[in-house]
């Protein structure tokens, strides 16, 4: 089994939390993704933080392009590992 991870970058916490909920509905993701606050370099204002949704896909069943389009619905994107 490989350790495949997808990282979705979202503009704020609300969007990231909505994405986490929608992942189960849209893609059948069972394992809870991790939410990670990513402060932009040189910025200490919480408003300038991006939020990362990290999900494991050991079975390799999630399509990278679909995840990118999905994150785009919240003005986010899928980061290449």
DSSP annotation string for 56-72: E-TT--S-HHHHHHHHH
Q: What is the domain extent for residue 56? A: 5-79
CATH of the domain at 70: 3.30.70.3450
Backbone angles phi, psi at 61, to 5 degrees: -95, -10
Q: Structural domain tally of the chain? A: 1
Residue 45, pLDDT above cutoff 60:
no
Residue 71, pLDDT above cutoff 60:
yes
Confidence class for position 2, pLDDT limits 50, 70, 90: low
How much is the pTM?
0.85
């Amino acid at each position: 089994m490989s350790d495949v991870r997808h990282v979705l970058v979202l503009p704020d916490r609300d969007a990231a939390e909505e994405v986490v909920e929608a992942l189960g509905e849209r893609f059948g993701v069972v394992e809870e993704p991790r939410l990670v606050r990513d402060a932009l370099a040189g910025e200490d204002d919480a408003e300038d933080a991006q939020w990362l949704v990290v999900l494991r896909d050991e079975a390799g069943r999630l399509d990278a392009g679909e995840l990118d389009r999905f994150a785009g619905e919240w003005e986010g994107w899928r980061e290449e590992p």
